[in-house]
Every structure is written in structure tokens, then in C-alpha cells.
A = this chain, B = another copy of it.
């Protein structure tokens, strides 16, 4: 069995040999730019690992792996327009580099192309895989819509936030794992379990993302610490703090990010002081561990020999940056 690095190398190799049409140039070159812009390839990796864990043919699964990665990159292309985001993975976003119309249309072509790739799975499994892929793709759109709705919503409940990140982030990881299992001929019951494993893992990953944005190390994160606080984003930390803080502290949480009498550093530390007062970082860490342990427990339940689960366990640890 191949380990995470070998799977990734195989995938990058497959991706590199995909021949997109050359014309119209302005439609297809942003797709190439976006797909070769790196990223952790976490969705195709889990798909291929799941396929191999069940003894499936990884070569046959490569097109589906490319499909989920292309779909993910398509969502980034359109999200960047909606968020006016000019930088993606340290480079100009497609939106910033080519403009909005190109980003819309190239994104559309990318989404359609993800189906073009998906269609290369063995025909006997196509219907089952599309019945995972398409509802998953719709859910990702729903998650993005809720995320945008929350920006203008005065009060967001923690449970709504969890549902939003589940839709926006976790279902794509979970659906990828499930597609891999289907390609490995896993039973319906096993497919459901590996879906839940990846769903919990995705939630742990997203909560950790929120935590690191305020409490990570700048060098590791690759971006400025406190970005979410300065943008006044309703993150998991913010919503938990809002639900625990007294009225006076809630005022600080609500208004600090727009307080121009303070420097950015002061704004960040004022909000973090409230987080710390209510022990939010510690609580969030606990929640992350809970999700992560649940994911591992679900992995433990899979009807596979232990050595076949090993790479999926390592995958989870790598994703969370954990040693064990």
C-alpha cells in the first residue's frame, strides 16, 4: 500500500498530464493557473487513500480524485470574486489577475470540467458516484451561501455556524472519502462510516483553522495572525465568546474591529483578552480534540485490517499537524 506521499506524487503526476483544450486561451489558462497553484490536495488524497484501503485500483480512481480537486478549485475561483479576494496561495487570484468576467466563466468551465473528469470512472459505478458528487457539490454552494448570509446577520447561533462549516468544508472531504470507498468496492455501510470519519475530521480541521487564525504562529500559518478579528468575522471563537461573555464584554467583541482609535495590534489584543477571559482557546482546543478523536474512533470501526487503516490515520494526523 502506498503512503500519503506516494499517493500525492501519483496524483500530481496524473494532474500534470491532463490536457485542457488550448483555445479559447483566456477560458482555459486560468484553470491551469489555478490547478497548478499548489494547495494541500487534501480531497484527492483522502479519496485515493480510501480507495486503496479497500483494495481498489488507485489508477482507476485518479480521474475522480482530479474531479474533486478541480471542483474545490472552482469554488475558490468564485469565492474569491464574492469576497473580493486578491490573493490566493500567495499569488494573485484569478479574479485579481484576469478580472471578474474571466473568473466567472473560467470557474464555470472548471466546474463542468470536473464532471468531464468524473465521467472517466468505470461506467458500472458512474451513477453511484454522481449521486455522491452532485448533492455534495450543491451542499458546498449552500455552505457558501450561509457563510455570506452570516456576514450581514446580527446574531448567528453556534449550531448554525457548525452546520455552515460542515456544508462549506467538511462534506467535500467526506464525499471524497466516500467516492474513494465506492471505487474500492466497499459496502454501503462502510461507505457511510468512512464518510462520517472524514466529516468529523473536516470539522476538526476547520475549527483548528479558526483557532490558528487568532492563536497560531505567523511563520506556520503563512498569513497574519488576527486577520479574522480585524475583519470582524463570526468565527467559532467569536460565537462561543459571544455566547459566554457579559454585556460589557459582548460590546467589546461587537465593536472593537471597527474602532479606528485603536491600532490593529490593539484591536487584536483587546478581542483576544476577552477570548482568554472566558477560556475560549482552551475550550476550542477541547472541541477540536473531541472531533479528532471521534474521527479516529470511526476509523477504528471500519471493517478493515489495522494495517489498511494506517495511512488514513496518518492522513488525519498530518492534516491536523499532530504527531499522534
> Which residues of A are in contact with B by a Cβ distance under 8 Å?
21, 23-24, 26-27, 78, 81-82, 101, 104-105, 107-109, 111-113, 115-116, 119, 123, 126-127, 130-131, 134-135, 137-138, 141-142, 144-146, 148-149
Return chain B residues, CB-CB under 8 Å to A149. 24, 26
14 pairs, CB–CB < 8 Å, chain A vs chain B: A21-B138, A21-B142, A24-B146, A104-B104, A107-B108, A108-B141, A111-B112, A112-B134, A113-B138, A115-B115, A116-B135, A119-B131, A126-B126, A126-B130
Q: A26-B145, A104-B81 are in contact. Are A109 and B123 (CB under 8 A)?
A: no
Return chain B residues, CB-CB under 8 Å to A108. 78, 107-108, 111, 141
Return chain B residues, CB-CB under 8 Å to A26. 145, 149
Whether A119 pairs with B111 at a CB distance below 8 angstroms is no
Nearest residue in B to A121 (C-beta to C-beta)?
B127
Whether B141 pairs with A115 at a CB distance below 8 angstroms is no
**Interface residue from B21, B105, B119 paired with A82 (Cβ < 8 Å):** B105
Nearest residue in B to A138 (C-beta to C-beta)?
B112
Return chain B residues, CB-CB under 8 Å to A109. 138, 141-142
Return chain B residues, CB-CB under 8 Å to A113. 138
Return chain B residues, CB-CB under 8 Å to A146. 24
Q: A111-B111, A112-B134 are in contact. Are A101 and B82 (CB under 8 A)?
A: yes
Closest 4 CB pairs of A and B: A27-B145, A24-B145, A109-B141, A82-B101
